[in-house]
Amino acid sequence: MKPEELDELLEKFERAETTLEEERRIKAYFTQKESVNEHDVHKSIFSFYAQEQKHSIPDLERPKRSGSRSTWMKIAAVLVLLIASVVFYQQYQHRQELKRQQASEAFDKTKKVLELVATEFQKGKSNLELLKDIDETKNEFIK
């Protein structure tokens, strides 16, 4: 590979614009030949890549969980949801009962007030009957 071509490929590599084929050509150049001093940095990078490719990552196995543990976790989650539902329902019922009691108390107070008004109205009505009698008597004398 010509030095100008290599420089151009390295510039593209640094800008992350190379294709896989171009990267293979650069790698082949640095693994087969002695490079010029100005390319020592790149040679060390590609030799590092080559060494790392030789290492394999062992397959990691996930630890197997016992079926009973996950089953117990599911049962516990269902129980928590059930208990929470019962508690919230009881709180809702309690609030509704308080509202009913308050409404009943308000109704009773209103009823008492209206009875008082009716009683006072009756007293006033009897006074009006007296005035009516006086008015009739007055009319008799005036005639």
**In this structure, is residue 86 part of a structural domain?**
yes
Cα 44 to Cα 50: distance, rounded to the nearest angstrom: 10
Are 39 and 99 in a shared domain?
no
pTM of the prediction? 0.37
pLDDT tens sequence across 57-111: 777 777 666 667 788 899 999 999 999 999 999 999 999 999 999 999 999 999 9
Highest mean pLDDT among 15-24, 39-48, 95-104: 95-104
Domain of residue 115 covers 73-143
Are 24 and 84 in a shared domain?
no
Are 81 and 129 in a shared domain?
yes
Task: Give SS3 for 142.
Answer: helix
Contact criterion met (CB below 8 Å) for 12 and 19: no
**In this structure, is residue 64 part of a structural domain?**
no
Contacts of 18 (CB under 8 A, 6+ apart): 9, 12, 26
**In this structure, is residue 66 part of a structural domain?**
no
**In this structure, is residue 63 part of a structural domain?**
no
The DSSP symbol for 16 reads T
Number of domains making up the chain: 2
